[in-house]
Amino acid sequence: MATTGSAPAASVPQRPMRADARRNYDRLLDAARTTLTEVGSDAPLEEVARRAGVGIGTLYRHFPRRLDLLEAVYRKDVEKLATSAERLLAAASPWDALEGWLTEFIGYATTKRALFHELVDAVGRDSELLTYSRQVITTSATSVLARAQEAGVARRDAEPGDLLRLVGGCTMMADLEPDQQARMLRIVLDGLRA
Amino acid sequence: MATTGSAPAASVPQRPMRADARRNYDRLLDAARTTLTEVGSDAPLEEVARRAGVGIGTLYRHFPRRLDLLEAVYRKDVEKLATSAERLLAAASPWDALEGWLTEFIGYATTKRALFHELVDAVGRDSELLTYSRQVITTSATSVLARAQEAGVARRDAEPGDLLRLVGGCTMMADLEPDQQARMLRIVLDGLRA
Amino acid sequence: MATTGSAPAASVPQRPMRADARRNYDRLLDAARTTLTEVGSDAPLEEVARRAGVGIGTLYRHFPRRLDLLEAVYRKDVEKLATSAERLLAAASPWDALEGWLTEFIGYATTKRALFHELVDAVGRDSELLTYSRQVITTSATSVLARAQEAGVARRDAEPGDLLRLVGGCTMMADLEPDQQARMLRIVLDGLRA
Amino acid sequence: MATTGSAPAASVPQRPMRADARRNYDRLLDAARTTLTEVGSDAPLEEVARRAGVGIGTLYRHFPRRLDLLEAVYRKDVEKLATSAERLLAAASPWDALEGWLTEFIGYATTKRALFHELVDAVGRDSELLTYSRQVITTSATSVLARAQEAGVARRDAEPGDLLRLVGGCTMMADLEPDQQARMLRIVLDGLRA
DNA sequence: TATGAATGAGTGTTCATTCAT
DNA sequence: TATGAATGAACACTCATTCAT
């Protein structure tokens, strides 16, 4: 389910990136996420390039249009959620998997808050990316919740969608104060415990 | 508790606006809210002026800086919430007051989603406006909830802050599909009923 | 046949431009023609604005996209040719009309040399502008040549198209040395005389 | 009269190119001519390299500055005209030589149309390249025309310069429709026949 | 050596803000 | 006073050129 993490989101088998290009690509994605969530969704790409320590031309070589960068940031967060779900399901206790995944989900919700509007405007709510995103998240949330319920550590009447809206919505509403976010998550988790 | 609705947000007693100026002021505020929530927080002010049916110069006469307009829009929504709380507490049943106020709160949350980031960047989280806003909303939410609890129509263990985060967060998370918003509100209200 | 010279090439009856706006519009067109023919078709628009003595924003108010400016320059030259034909046919001797119009045509050919490629790329050879241009020029050339032939001052076996290609082609080929252009015109005119 | 076709346009005796380097050099020149005449004089060099099937670095190894490539393309066309004149004079009938050379000249005029402005801007009208070009073309045109005139198959009152301007000018004016170019050439040739 | 990734100056375009009408 | 034209700083994006692989 998780992708292999090959950089360009789409398409054909291509030669692997050169090491330096790969490093710049990753740096750019990281810089983009922090810049966009901190400065706002209208952050200049020059600022992203600056934080990544590369020239603006390099940014554009990897992401020919602003939208390509936004999509890649969003997609990476979604993929990370899917990967986390797999890893946690395989290696953590049912409860820890649930808690760990929701913690990661908060990071995703922060990214989503910054990018979602612009993405919807540009590619539409039914684009491949957003459809894929909904599917991945629903699947992951369902998995970690179901395992916790089957293990008897989570309330049986909780639905994955409720969980997502509670944690995600509170994250967005909580205006990015990290300690508030952690507290909200604690409340939700306490409420969930069987 | 509610302000008197005098147009320029701050300061000294000044002569009341001429009728046409008042009309333009109100139109601009309305146009700004719809434009900013629909087009996005980076909507051009020319678009706001166009929707209000006035020239850009007139917009700037009323709101010398872009931020002034954003603040006024936000403040108006907050004041409307306060006014609604007073009206509903005076005239509606405890439950209807709670339901009515939360419905209005969704509109506020939509505005907040669009403007909050830019406001925080510009004036800071502890500015008069945002402090005032928190206080008004907490007070209003507390009033309508407490009355419903005292009347025995709402669960006693619900806290105003939870309510706000649930409804507000879900609004933000729900990606602006109005029917989804209504459904989320219904769920929360059903859950609240004593 | 000639337009009234209203500035925006298309559309509905609109209020006449303010005097200063009209002046800037005209200056911009003039500056654009000289800049594009002197510097080349890839001249920066900032240079055009600079020569017109206005800010880049003013240029964009009048011509929202680069192409709009190129089209307007080209269209104005075509319209000038049509107007010249009318004027010369009404007021000059048949021979002087022919000579005068061909002289103006050289200016048009210079503009065309600079802009044509980009226009064709952008709007296509069958666009309204280029169709209109061909029609205006054919009509005008036919008129001035036919009158000269009827008056017995031009060879009867000359065709308008030949004339245009000779004068226009030589203009383009002559690499913009103005004295060479004049000499070529003289040769063609001597050849044409009945 | 023709150069020996040594690749780098100027200067010192250097070892002959390796076969593969020579092949890349030739491919680049061809790709440059087609790209520049088709896409326009502002075509990106990456596109040239792509069409030539080499990397951009290889292009720059052969042509360290953009201008070097433009010069080489132009020079090659001029040299081809000189070579053609020699070959046709030696092997074809006087009339066929004239016709064949003028046909080649149309190709040159197309290249010139695309490159001339930029070349003049960069190296000046009296540069070695442009002086050389004028001399080669005048010489070649004079040769093929004189031979045809001496053979009694071309009008004696035609001048080489007229021919060049007629054919070249019409080529430029004819806006690149190849069939129109052929027709213009036919007209000129019919007019030339003794 | 050939490749293509990196660079950054330059250009088209937008939009907050000012100012003449 | 209301209007909208003018301004220019800022930003998305391109491409000639350099340099690491």
For A125-191, give the DSSP string.
Answer: TTSHHHHHHHHHHHHHHHHHHHHHHHTTSB-TT--HHHHHHHHHHHHHHTTT-HHHHHHHHHHHHHH
| Angle at D142 (CA atoms; ends C159, D71), nearest 5 degrees | 90
How much is the pLDDT for C12? Answer: 46
Round the CA-based radius of gyration of chain C to a whole number and report it: 18
Q: Please write the tens of the pLDDT for every residue from B138-151.
A: 999 999 999 999 99
Confirm whether C2 is domain-assigned. no
Residues D94 and D44 in one domain: no
Tell which of B42, B64, B86 closes a domain: B64
All residues of chain B having their beta carbon less than 8 Å from the beta carbon of residue A171 are 169
Residue B6 lies in a domain: no
Q: Which nucleotides of E are covered by protein (CB under 7 A)?
A: 1-21
Domain annotation covers residue D6: no
Residue B47 sits at φ, ψ, to 5 deg, of: -65, -40
- Using a CB-CB cut-off of 8 Å, the residues of chain C touching D173 are 109, 164-165, 168-169, 172
| Per-residue pLDDT at D25 | 95
- Average pLDDT of chain B is 84
**Residue A183 confidence (pLDDT):** 65
Q: Angle at Cα B19 formed by Cα B16 and Cα B24, nearest 5°?
A: 105
Predicted confidence (pLDDT) per residue in D13-63, tens digit: 566 677 788 899 999 999 999 999 888 888 999 999 999 999 999 999 999
Cα D149 to Cα D155: distance, rounded to the nearest angstrom: 6
Query: Does a structural domain hold residue A8?
Result: no
Q: Is the pLDDT of residue B58 over 80?
A: yes
What band does D3 get if pLDDT is binned at 50, 70 and 90? Answer: very low
To the nearest 10 degrees (0 to 180), the angle between helices D66-91 and D45-52 is: 50
Backbone dihedral angles phi then psi of residue D154, each to the nearest 5 degrees:
-135, 150
B59 against A41, higher pLDDT: B59
Segment C85-135, tens digit of pLDDT:
999 999 999 999 999 999 899 888 888 888 988 898 888 888 999 999 999
Q: So what's the pLDDT on residue B43?
A: 94
Both B50 and B78 in a single domain? no
Give the nucleotide at minimum CA-to-C1' distance from B59: F2
Could you tell me if residue C5 is inside a domain?
Answer: no
pLDDT at A10: 43
Rounded CA separation B72/D119 (Å): 59
Pick from D111, D85, D129: which is nearest to D172 by CA?
D111
Q: What is the DSSP letter of C139?
A: H
Question: Which residues in chain A show pLDDT less than 50?
Answer: 1-13, 176
- Other Cβ atoms within 10 Å of D163 Cβ, number: 22
Same domain, B32 and B104: no
Measured CA to CA, the distance from residue B167 to residue B182 in angstroms comes to 10
Residue A19, nucleotide of least CA–C1' distance: F21
Q: Which residue has the tokens 């050169």?
A: A18
Q: Which residues, including other chains, have CB under 8 Å from residue D3's CB and lie 6 or more apart?
A: D79, D82
Same domain, B60 and B142: no
C-alpha closest to that of D134 among D75, D51, D61: D75
Q: Are residues D47 and D73 in the same domain?
A: no
Counting CB pairs under 8 A, whether chains A and B reach 3 or more, is yes
Nucleic acid strand F: bases within 7 A of protein CB: 1-21
**Residues B38, B92 share a domain:** no
Rounded distance in angstroms from the CA atom of residue D133 to the C1' atom of nucleotide E14? 46
Domain end, chosen from D6, D35, D64, is at D64
Of the candidates A117, A172, A184, the beta carbon closest to that of B173 is on A172
List the B147 CA – E14 C1' distance (angstroms).
51
Separation between Cα atoms, residue D102 and residue D145, nearest integer Å: 10
Q: 């129109």: which residue's tokens?
A: D180
Which residues, 6+ apart, have CB-to-CB distance to B123 below 8 Å? B67, B71, B129, B130
In a shared domain, residues C26 and C100: no
**Residue C41 — φ and ψ, nearest 5°?**
-70, -10
Give the whole-angstrom CA distance, residue C10 versus residue C15.
14
D159 and D138 in contact (C-beta within 8 Å)? no
Q: Please report the pLDDT score of residue C170 as a whole number.
A: 66
C28 and C77 inside one domain: no
For the stretch C132-179, pLDDT in tens is: 999 999 999 999 999 999 999 988 887 888 778 777 776 666 554 556
In a domain? residue D91: yes
Contact of A175 with B174, CB cutoff 8 Å: no
Is the CB of D165 less than 8 angstroms away from the CB of C170? yes
Q: What is the pLDDT of residue C13?
A: 47
Instruction: List, in sequence order, the alpha helices (H) in B40-127.
Output: 45-52, 56-62, 66-91, 94-123
CA of A60 to C1' of F14 (A): 10
Cβ separation B168–A173 shorter than 8 A: yes
Is the same domain home to A152 and A165?
yes
**Yes or no, beta carbons of A172 and B113 under 8 Å apart:** yes
What subunits make at least 3 CB pairs under 8 angstroms with D?
A: C
CATH code: domain of residue C122 = 1.10.357.10
Average pLDDT, chain C: 85
Look at residue C57 in the predicted model and tell me its pLDDT.
95
As for how many domains chain D has, the answer is 2
Residues C79 and C149 placed together within one structural domain of the fold: yes
On the 0-12 / 13-18 / 19+ scale of CB atoms within 10 A, B25 is buried
Question: For residue D6, what pLDDT is reported?
Answer: 43
Per-residue pLDDT band for D5 (boundaries 50, 70, 90) equals very low
The Cα B113–Cα B173 span in angstroms is 10
Q: What CATH number does residue A21 fall under?
A: 1.10.10.60
Summarised one tens digit per residue, pLDDT across range D92-151 is 999 999 999 998 998 888 888 889 888 988 888 899 999 999 999 999 999 999 999 999
Give the confidence band of B92 by pLDDT, cuts at 50, 70, 90: very high
Question: By CB neighbour count within 10 A (0-12 exposed, 13-18 middle, 19+ buried), where does B35 fall?
Answer: buried
Nearest in space to C85 (alpha carbons), one of C159, C137, C161: C137
Which domain, by its residues, includes B58?
Answer: 16-64
Q: Is residue D5 part of a domain?
A: no
Beta strands in chain C (DSSP E): none
Q: At what angle do helices D94-123 and D178-192 cross, to 10 degrees?
A: 120
Same-domain check for residues A87 and A134: yes
**D152-172: pLDDT as tens digits:** 998 888 788 877 877 777 666
CB pairs under 8 A between A and B: 54
Please tell me whether residue D174 adopts helix, strand or coil conformation.
coil
Q: How far is the CA of C75 from the C1' of E18 (A)?
A: 33
Q: Per residue in B152-170, pLDDT tens?
A: 998 888 788 877 877 777 6
Map residue C151 onto helix, strand or coil.
coil
- Tell me the pLDDT tens digit for each residue of B25-43: 999 999 999 999 888 888 9
Quick one: pLDDT at residue D2? 38
Is residue C180 domain-shared with residue C89, that is, in the same domain?
Answer: yes
Residue C8 is assigned to a structural domain of this protein: no
Interface test with A, best of B172, B176, B187, B188 (most A CBs within 10 A): B172
